[in-house]
Structure 1
């Protein structure tokens, strides 16, 4: 069994096509098909069902695929460790982040990291904090940047707190609250909200705050990310939102209002307890985190949110 054969199997499984897999692997299709057939012969079973219309994994292939990926990742990590021993950083770096991350300048850090370590292949994954934490535990993401309610903390990973940020109300410029210097949750409870899906960490901090105050609110719109769509719904006067004060000013066409009894969002950097790749260690250093000491340089002072 050869690593190249494993690469071919993974490529076919991910593309559902021998032709596309060959293109990805930069090899002629006949050579790729031959190597997969040799591996199947060695294993004594077929890994793929082949028809004129489709290619898909057999039950044996589905069982084989996770181990094949693990072998390839182990081989890649071994090569990266050897390179690091002689002063090189290479391999892959998978970075996960929530869309509203504000404690770290991710684009700036990636620019500096890429300039210093051009041989590292970088992949970015954007998603909710709970999914990113699971991906770090599974090893598919090396470093992730999360946002959680003050009542929660990442589990099963190494976590370093980066900062705390109160939420602010985000309203349309013509909204009656737009001219207020500060509001309270009790006044906001009468508004219609746009928020993240129920059960997500980004939604939980607001739900907990209203519940703790004995208040109920209406979330009429749910969006998967706090981005331009949320801003458009707010800007059109359809809803208001609660967002971290350091992120909200990035949205165009809306006004932010301080909330006297606002909940806090806590940002974390997390990585696996099972160890870090040289690339992950180098990237943590690039964003100002000493992974050995567990310290992060404080974020630069921020201007208070506009009101």
Structure 2
């Protein structure tokens, strides 16, 4: 008895047709028929009733089908276990990323992972952080890079983050698991001619008279800012929203409002923007890798790879969106 005979028998049983089964396993119909007959001869029983217009299972075939499927599944499990040990993982992982993000360390991590494990296909998709988290919880995403307040329950117990600190080990929390990769304070950025440009620092209340440019709801930066406004009892007007931090910064540079972003998003434009810390926004805006169930061996290997790559000082990391 050979595995291919079991595979062909399962194909005929599921397709109820020798021609469709042959197309599925990509050999000739005569080849499928011959191998099924060999299997029937070895078992000493007819498995497929060929008398009607469709191929149907005999009672012996019904009894054999479940065990044939189990045998092929067991072989697949053996192959997956050996592949994982040997670093020859195969599979497909869908990775999510907060929209308009150009966090190059993630791209570098995915590129080096692909070089080490070319058998794993990586698919990348963008969305808001809130929706990415929902997809991780639902299992439609294996891994996602999201923006979140650094003190969010998602990161509870994951360790203390700072912009230049070493990363903690990823730790399980209720729901998805998370590993912060970088966190920064919020700043207000204005054009050099703006009335606030002469200030060395600000408070949330100082922003109330001016239109605010910020990332949309569902991003980590916006969540941190909205929470700080509520805590201060202030209601600055967010009149300009853009998904890309560069667009938010450009709006401020043209004098259309005060940009509220994380520090690294504006620190490369000193001639066009003046940035100031917002003193009463104590929470950092973080980028974190999140994942759910890790039954998939390919996903487990990717998570371990990312932890090795990100468990380094992050002072040179320059996220341009979250």
TM-score range, shorter chain: 0.5 to 0.7
Which of 235, 242, 247 is the equivalent residue of 1:229? 247
Q: Say if 1:120 and 1:248 are closer, same or farther in 2 by CA, change over 3 A.
A: farther
Provide the residue aligned with 2:233 in structure 1: 214
Determine which of 294, 305, 314 is the counterpart of 1:300.
Answer: 314
- The one-character-per-residue Cα deviations of 1:145-196 (angstroms, maximum 9, x if unpaired) are 2221245323621123334321111222432333433222221222211223
TM-score (norm 2): 0.60
Q: Distance in 1 between matches of 2:126 and 2:317?
A: 27
- Contiguous gaps of at least 5 residues in structure 2: 1-9, 16-25, 27-53, 56-72, 155-173
Instruction: Check whether the contact 2:186–2:221 (CA below 8 A) recurs between aligned residues.
Output: no
Q: Partner residue of 2:286?
A: 266
113 and 173 in structure 1: CA distance in 2 versus 1, 3 angstrom threshold: farther
Pairing of 1:85-164 with structure 2 (within 5 A): 85-99=85-99, 105-150=105-150, 152-154=152-154, 156-164=175-183
Could you list the runs of 5+ residues in structure 1 that have no partner in the other structure?
A: 7-26, 28-40, 43-73, 291-295
TM-superposition CA deviations, 1:48-71 (whole Å, max 9, x none): xxxxxxxxxxxxxxxxxxxxxxxx
The equivalent residue for 1:47 is none
- CA separation of 1:284 and 1:277: change in aligned 2, threshold 3 A: same
Distance 1:87 1:283 in 2: 11
**Which of 156, 166, 182 is matched with 2:201 structurally?**
182
1:56-115 deviation line (CA, Å, top 9, x unaligned): xxxxxxxxxxxxxxxxxx9xx967556324430221122212247688711221221222
Count how many residue pairs are aligned between Structure 1 and Structure 2: 232
Shift of 1:206: 0.7
The DSSP-based 3-state class of the residue aligned with 1:113 is helix
Tell which structure's C-alpha radius of gyration is larger. Answer: 2
TM-score normalised according to structure 1 size? 0.62
